[in-house]
A = this chain, B = another copy of it.
Amino acid sequence: MEALVTLCKRRGFIFQSSEIYGGYAGFFDYGPLGTELKRNLKDAWWKAMVHEREDIVGLDSSIIMHPEIWKASGHVDGFSDPMVDCRESKRRFRADQLFYAVVTVEGQSIGYLCLEESGDMQAEADKQAQEMKRKQGVQGTLDPVVLREYTEADPGEQALIPSPATGTPGSLTPPRQFNLMFETKVGPLADASATAYLRPETAQGIFQNFKNVVDTGRVKIPFGIAQIGKAFRNEITPRNFIFRSREFEQLEIEYFIDPDEATWPRVYREWIDTCKDWLTRIGIPEDMIGEDVHPPEKLSHYSKGTTDLTFTFPFGTQELWGIACRGDFDLSQHQHHSGKSMEFFDEARKEKYIPHVVEPSLGVDRTLLAVLTAAYCEDEIPNDKGKPEKRTLLKFHPRIAPFKAAVFPLLKNKPELVECARDVYHRLQKRWNVAWDASGAIGRRYRRQDEVGTPFGLTVDFDTVEKDQCVTIRDRDTTQQQRVPLAEVEAFLAEKIDG
């Protein structure tokens, strides 16, 4: 992970926001290469989900919407995390990330410990328990330390549990709800009527436009509305690089279906498969993708089923893509709150109903992190002198690589090579983002492109201009080279990129 974060910074993929001002927790900026990678990722999704399908249309709704929408959706009342304050240090913790244990020696309590969730939390707790026993000079055998979530502590225990910030027992408050939506004020007045929210998800922008799309878009159920856009959550503990940030981008689809009980399980399964398939199309290996089916007791009252596609990140297996069957909850809520009918007249079934919905919801930033994780590798290849040399490469699928190809004249001081290479470069540029590099040994130029994931290196040499009108195309992953006629270069790349 650390190597990846370093590479991301060094080669201009991802920067911490506001770095010159000491950074700003939970916000990230995409540098020149990260911006291209993100664009390609979003374009690949849009192409697969909107352009290549006839049952999905696009939408681009505003980030700030009428505040009533968030009442209808349940976010004003329910979109919150339980928080715990330390009265002494004024530090704040997420209650579900705070763990405590009663430390016992042969069944006798000798005190409480409390710590923040982390990978080596158990080891840390064991160490603290040992230390407590030593300090108190207690004899006997320490019992196993069993960590429990702070939310499970009763008031009596809360008074005994020390704050992880100060160690003082009883300085933590009971858990309280903290809404994760960012608030702002719209319009000239700063009173309560002006309160608005930055959307915490793009989905509601789709639901509030359902009728508009039905009325103007010649759509028939089943159909979907897709949207790409920023969303914001005031996470208490943003972490794991771009995995959990406060500002992020979503790729969401609301797929509207009839309310027949036989329909949703079929569509649900289809969407799980479609999403998995798309992940492999952008180069994520199937064996890094898992399915996490939410057990019935963890579902919201309106939900019929939710499956997360997971990915094995360096910091653990985490949710990447949630596919949720939300019934008619959202549209019904908006019908109720707005007083406007959300019913759809189904020509085929000759009936009116509020459609049900299956929602595949994906985060751009965590997908990008998955792509980077899957693409990052190190190997050894011979250098210009034939000696094995370590190399770092990003094995991006050509579909999403920031540069599709790099064009090199073998020597930069030979005008006939440069001119021919410029021709190739300009021709390819009409269609793709292509790099140009004329300086340094050819091996070094290859290596520079390997590190940013450019799948093909095209070298124009003397044979190109004097003999065969072919360029050498070098494959990033295998380092194999082949001669391809100039006239066929575009078709060669198109096949690799879109094929």
Contacts and interface: CB of A to CB of B under 8 A. Distances in A.
Contacts of A211: 20
Contact of A11 (B17, B18, B216): B216
A19 interface: yes
A184 B198 contact: yes
Nearest to A26: B186
A413 interface: no
A147 interface: no
Contacts of A27: 62, 64-65
A264 B209 CA distance: 47
Contact of A12 (B62, B198, B212): B212
A208 B65 contact: no
A10 B62 contact: no
Most chain B Cβ neighbours within 10 Å, of A28, A188, A430: A188
A241 interface: no
Interface string A6-46: 00011110010111111111111111101110110000001
B62 A36 contact: no
Contact of A247 (B51, B64, B212): B64
Most chain B Cβ neighbours within 10 Å, of A12, A19, A39, A431: A12
A26 B185 CA distance: 13
Given A9-B216, A18-B65, A20-B340, 6 more contacts: A19-B208, A24-B186, A29-B209, A92-B189, A182-B185, A188-B236
A280 interface: no
Interface of A: 9-12, 15, 17-32, 34-36, 38-39, 46, 50-52, 54, 57-66, 68-69, 83, 90, 92, 178, 182-189, 198, 205, 208-209, 211-213, 216-217, 225, 230, 232, 234, 236, 246-247, 334, 337-338, 340, 429-434, 436, 498
Contact of A212 (B19, B36, B92, B186): B19
B66 A212 contact: no
A325 B61 CA distance: 33
A61 B30 contact: yes
Given A69-B18, A184-B198, A31 B209 contact: yes
A212 B31 contact: yes
Interface of A is mostly: mixed
A394 to B, nearest CB: 15
Contact of A63 (B12, B186, B230): B230
Contacts of A25: 187
B60 A35 contact: yes
A59 B83 contact: no
Contacts of A198: 184, 198
B15 A30 contact: no
Nearest to A437: B218
Ranked nearest first, the 8 interchain pairs of A and B with the lowest CB-CB distance are A18-B66, A32-B57, A12-B216, A29-B61, A30-B60, A35-B58, A20-B338, A92-B188
B183 A17 contact: no
A12 B247 contact: no
Most chain B Cβ neighbours within 10 Å, of A34, A83, A234, A340: A234
A247 B217 CA distance: 25
B17 A34 contact: no
A27 B10 CA distance: 38
Contacts of A29: 59-62, 205, 209, 212
Given A185-B182, A188-B92, A498-B430, A20 B60 contact: no
Contacts of A21: 66, 68-69, 208, 337-338
A211 B185 CA distance: 34
B232 A64 contact: yes
A66 B24 contact: yes
Contact of A58 (B32, B51, B178, B337): B32
Contacts of A433: 50-51
Nearest to A9: B216
B208 A20 contact: yes
10 contacts: A9-B216, A12-B216, A17-B61, A21-B66, A27-B64, A29-B62, A39-B58, A62-B247, A186-B234, A198-B198
Nearest to A334: B20
A433 B182 CA distance: 36
Most chain B Cβ neighbours within 10 Å, of A24, A178, A498: A24
A58 B436 CA distance: 16
Nearest to A178: B188
A19 B66 CA distance: 9
A22 B58 contact: no
B20 A54 contact: no
Contacts of A9: 216
Nearest to A52: B429
A42 to B, nearest CB: 10
